[in-house]
Chain A
Amino acid sequence: MSALEVRDLHKSFGGLRVTRAVTLDAEPGERRLIIGPNGAGKTTLFNLITGELKPDSGSIRLFGRELTRVPSRRRAHLGLARTYQIITLFPGETLLHNVMLSLLGLSALRWNSFRRLSRQAVLIEAGRRALERVGLQHMAERPLADTAYGERRRVEIAMGLAQNPKVLLLDEPFAGLSIDERRDVQGLLASIPRDVTIVMIEHDMDVALEFAERITVLHFGEVVVEGSRAEVVAHPRTREIYLGE
């Protein structure tokens, strides 16, 4: 069965159709890239998958489990994680605290009002390891406000990975990064084991193409091309819509 299956998904805002009959199948362990010009509906698709937006019709399945009636917060518990295009971290907190919030979301501990968070050794250790995965363990105690943009992008990814997801949605993880930073993140993504299926939205073609195994091209909310990397790159429609611009 697919890790993530989207069938015939539709979404309109008033008269504006932002998602039309989108169908997508990501196999377990796959590295899927979603590309398309601005306004193609890529982030909207992510919002629909996570449940932040309700689709008008269509279905979304996570490892066969129908998600339509499942609220966003439960989808996290079922193994779905996502990062955001615009950095949405917790500004007043340290990097460690940020990642710990990610871990806490899936733990029953989050309801506990009596224990001291600062004494939860297991959680803190897991947080440090999550930061280590993105190479930021030396900055664990640093407030987020004192970090650079590239570092925050990595924290975003750390947050997603900390949830130990089965399917990870990455929304433009390379946005605004320098060449070196991009290389770091590329390496980081390559090191993610195959028990995590990754679906990525990206604009930066060089970097993204290296990563992708299969590519879905969106235009005006619908899937116009889909296939392996080679197929999509060679497809005339792709060039016409996107690569040619």
Chain B
Amino acid sequence: MKRLALLLALALLASLPLWIGNSYYINVATQVLLYAVFALGLNVIVGWAGLVSLGHAGLFGIAAYAGAILINAGHGHFLSIVGALSVTLGVAALFAVLALRGTGLGFVMITVALGQIVWGVAYRWISLTNGDNGVSITSRPAPFGLSLADADGFYWATLVVFLVAVLTIAVFAGSPFGASLRGTRDQPRRMNTLGYNVWLIRFLAFLLSGLWSGVAGLLFLYYNQFISPQAVALTASAEVLLMVIAGGTATLLGPIAGALIVVVIKNVASTYVERWNFVLGAIFVAIVILMPEGLVPGSVRLWRRWVSRRGPRLGEPAPVAAAQPGNGQ
């Protein structure tokens, strides 16, 4: 049953540009996919490590800026991508070492500070980043000679990246390391006495989430062919966190659904409602107060009750937003 649904979804996604003619909607779909990659990456640290970050837009942005700067310096796309991701991994390692000095609220605050530093650099170090004016690039990559210049082509490229992300993160989730990570979320103290290196596990998880945030950042850069400090602001980190929380952290589908919800509302709402940020904030507040485990687990719960069959679960954590402070050690 599940496999059939997955195949159907895959077929729908792959054929999307064929049955949606309007390139505006194809672009929305591309955005959904790239933000889904971002949200999936963030979920590794928020949902499975139990550490909330409000600074991941910093890693997203560093990849995009590094990519833009390298491309404009004349390096080919492949080298620029590799370079940008390497830089992002390095910065993610630094972020992790600093942020892991705290847990719970302390971790959040440190990620806020780190994100703000990146934003400050993007905004002020004008000679490097062009400040508020942002950096443009003029071309997209052409893998194997295929052009990604039009909406369709870029959509398919993004879809491929998205599928790779989903696959690798799914494998990670079902692996022993994935189980160890979720263990450190639930009982860090016990994991320690069981023989696990809790710090190192969290560090590696952070690197993984940073890597995917970087990939998403590069997709964003190629999509817009432009990057500006706006993408690195606190609101950007809050948006992706909202995607993770809205969709639910326990499943793989959660962040994807969250990305869908947020991107669609952002694009659709802005045509009907003047103010997108108000809606974003209201949804945030509503979900945190009313549905702390997220929309997807809530819906899944209802579906299961209706079908009255219990499927295998990935292990349900306590709702992220209701987690006790000072949880870790």
Contact = CB atoms under 8 A, between A and B. Distances in A.
A105 B195 contact: yes
A73 to B, nearest CB: 5
Contacts of B317: 92
Interface stretch (B184-192, B223-231, B263-271, B278-286): B184-192
B176 A77 contact: no
Contacts of A190: none
A101 B179 contact: yes
B176 A102 contact: no
Contacts of A112: 175-177
Interface residues of B, number: 28
Contact of B186 (A50, A72, A84, A90): A90
Given A52-B189, A73-B192, A93 B315 contact: yes
B318 to A, nearest CB: 8
A80 to B, nearest CB: 8
A113 B197 contact: no
Interface in A69-114: 72-77, 81-82, 84, 88-93, 97, 100-102, 104-107, 109-114
Contacts of A73: 192-198
A102 B186 contact: no
Contacts of A106: 194-195
A84 B313 CA distance: 27
Contact of A117 (B178, B193, B198, B316): B178
Nearest to B313: A92
Given A88-B187, A92-B186, A92-B316, A72 B193 contact: yes
A90 B314 CA distance: 12
Contacts of A105: 191, 194-196
A97 B193 contact: no
B79 interface: no
Contacts of A115: 175-176
Contacts of B190: 84, 88
Given A73-B196, A97-B315, A114-B171, A109 B176 contact: yes
B12 to A, nearest CB: 27
A191 interface: no
A186 to B, nearest CB: 25
B195 A77 contact: yes
A114 B192 contact: no
B27 interface: no
Nearest to A145: B316
B10 to A, nearest CB: 21
Nearest to A120: B176
B143 interface: no
A49 B89 CA distance: 38
A163 interface: yes
B78 interface: no
A233 B250 CA distance: 52
A163 B186 CA distance: 19
Contacts of A109: 176
Interface in A42-87: 50-52, 72-77, 81-82, 84
B194 A101 contact: yes
Nearest to B183: A101
B311 to A, nearest CB: 12
A111 B195 CA distance: 12
Contacts of B178: 113, 117
A52 B250 CA distance: 29
A113 B315 contact: no
Nearest to B188: A88
Contacts of B179: 97, 100-101, 104, 117
Interface centre among A89, A101, A163 (most CB of B within 10 A): A101
Contacts of B180: 101, 104, 110-111
A159 B250 CA distance: 24
A116 interface: yes
A76 B186 contact: no
Contact of B176 (A72, A76, A91, A104): A104
B265 to A, nearest CB: 30
Contacts of B177: 110-113
Interface of A: 50-52, 72-77, 81-82, 84, 88-93, 97, 100-102, 104-107, 109-118, 120, 159, 163
Interface pairs A-B: 6 shortest CB-CB: A76-B195, A105-B194, A105-B195, A113-B177, A92-B316, A92-B315
Given A90-B187, A93-B315, 15 more contacts: A50-B193, A51-B193, A72-B193, A73-B196, A92-B313, A92-B316, A100-B179, A101-B183, A110-B176, A110-B177, A110-B196, A113-B171, A113-B172, A117-B179, A163-B195
7 contacts: A52-B192, A92-B313, A93-B315, A101-B183, A104-B180, A106-B194, A110-B180
